[in-house]
Amino acid sequence: MRIVFFGTPAFAVPSLQALLHGRFTLAGVVTQPDKPQGRSRSELVAPPIKATALAAGVPVLQPVRPVGDVFMTGLRRLEPDLGIVVAYGHVLRPEVLAVPPRGMINVHASLLPRHRGAAPIQQAILAGDRQTGITIMQMEEGLDSGPILHSVATPVGSDETAGSLAARLAELGASALIETLSLLSGGLVRPQAQDHSRASYAPKLDREAARLLWERDAAVLVRQIRAFDPSPGAWTQHTGGTLKLFNAREAQGSAEPGTVLEAGNRLVIAAGSGAVAVTEVQPAGKTRGSVQAWVHGRGIGTGQRLT
C-alpha cells in the first residue's frame, strides 16, 4: 500500500517515523515550505517533517497551499493508495481528499467530537479536561467531522503543559496510527459516526488568547499559563513591556488583581480569586529564566502591578 503523508510540525514526526519503520511504502510527503528566520529573515528553516523524509529518500512536496494544477499533478504522480494527515496546518479540499482510492485518514489530538479544530491540546488544558487522547478518523469535507476509526484515551496531568502533553500525544498518535492501519489491512475496522450534537471546537489561538487577565480566578490563569507553555507563552504587561510567565501553581494570597505579593524564589501575583505563583519568566527581549535571577537583577519587587 502506497501512502502519501501530510504533516508539518514536530508533532507529526513520530507518526512518519513509525510508517518508515513499518511494512508500508511511503510514496511521498507533503509539508509546508521552508520558513525564513533570523533578524534578516535570510535563513530558511525546513519543517521538522522534511528532514525525516529526505533522510529516508522519500519525495517531498512543499506547496504554499495544497491547491492548483501544479500541486495536484505532483500529488497524482505519487500514485498513493491512502493519505495520512497529521497536523498539516491546511484544510484539504475535496479534490485532494479524492486522490487516494482508499481515502485519507487523520490523526487528531483529542477525543472527538470534543475539541475539533487547530488547537486541541491547548484547549484541553484551558478547559481543565482530566483526559484527552488520540482519534484516528476518516477524513471528509467537514472540520474533523468524519467517522471515527480508532481512539485511545490518556489522562491530562494536573501540572502538564501543552509541550509535555503534545510530546506524549505524538507518540500515542504514532502507535494508534500503526494499530489502525493493521486493523484496516485486516478489514477489522468499523467506522463510527460522530455525535455532532456533542461537538466542541478548538480554533487556532492568536496572541491575545495568551494574555493573562488578572481579574480571573487563579485556577483559570494557571491553566492558561500551562496551555501556552512553551509557545507562545502566556503574557502580561510589566512597566510597559511584555512579560511571559511559566511553571505556575495556585497560591494563597489576596490583593488588587495583578499585584505582586511575593518576589523571591517565586513570583506570586494576586488574581481575582486566590493567587498565582510562577518560578520562570521571560521579560521582553530576553531568554526564559528563573524568577530568582530576575528578582536579584532588580527586575521586579513586591507591591508592583502586572496588567
The domain tally of the chain equals: 2
SS3 188: coil
What are 108's three cell numbers? 487528531
Q: How many alpha carbons fall within 13 Å on the CB side of residue 20? A: 18
Using the predicted structure, report yes or no on whether residue 256 has a pLDDT greater than 80: yes
Q: What Cα–Cα distance (Å) separates residue 197 from each residue in 109, 115, 138, 152?
A: 20, 13, 19, 21
pTM for the whole thing? 0.94
Residues of the chain with pLDDT > 70: what percent? Answer: 100
Instruction: Residue 156: give the domain boundaries.
Output: 2-198
Decide the pairing of beta strands 148-155 and 234-238. Answer: unpaired
The answer to whether the peptide bond before residue 113 is cis (omega within 30 degrees of 0) is yes
Separation CA 104–CA 263 (nearest Å): 53
In terms of domains, do 247 and 182 share one? no
**Per-residue model confidence as pLDDT tens digits over 103-119:** 999 999 999 999 999 99
Domain-ending residue, one of 198, 229, 263? 198
Q: Which of the four pLDDT bands, split at 50, 70 and 90, describes residue 37?
A: confident
Q: What are phi and psi of 137, to 5 degrees?
A: -130, 155
The answer to whether the peptide bond before residue 191 is cis (omega within 30 degrees of 0) is no
Query: Are the C-beta atoms of 261 and 275 separated by less than 8 Å?
Result: yes
**Average pLDDT across the chain, whole number:** 96
Q: Which of the four pLDDT bands, split at 50, 70 and 90, describes residue 84?
A: very high
Separation CA 16–CA 68 (nearest Å): 25
Using the predicted structure, report yes or no on whether residue 203 has a pLDDT greater than 80: yes
239 backbone φψ class: left, alpha, beta (φ>0; ψ -120 to 50)? left
In terms of domains, do 247 and 143 share one? no
> Among candidates 159, 275, 289, 301, which has minimal Cα distance to 217?
275
In terms of domains, do 172 and 276 share one? no
Q: Is residue 105 one of the residues assigned to a domain? A: yes
> Which of 33-37, 211-215, 233-237, 252-256 has the least mean pLDDT?
33-37
Q: Is residue 301 one of the residues assigned to a domain? A: no
Domain-ending residue, one of 135, 163, 198? 198
Query: Are the C-beta atoms of 177 and 107 separated by less than 8 Å?
Result: yes
Query: Are the C-beta atoms of 143 and 117 separated by less than 8 Å?
Result: yes
Separation CA 190–CA 6 (nearest Å): 24
Domain-ending residue, one of 170, 198, 226? 198
Using the predicted structure, report yes or no on whether residue 72 has a pLDDT greater than 80: yes
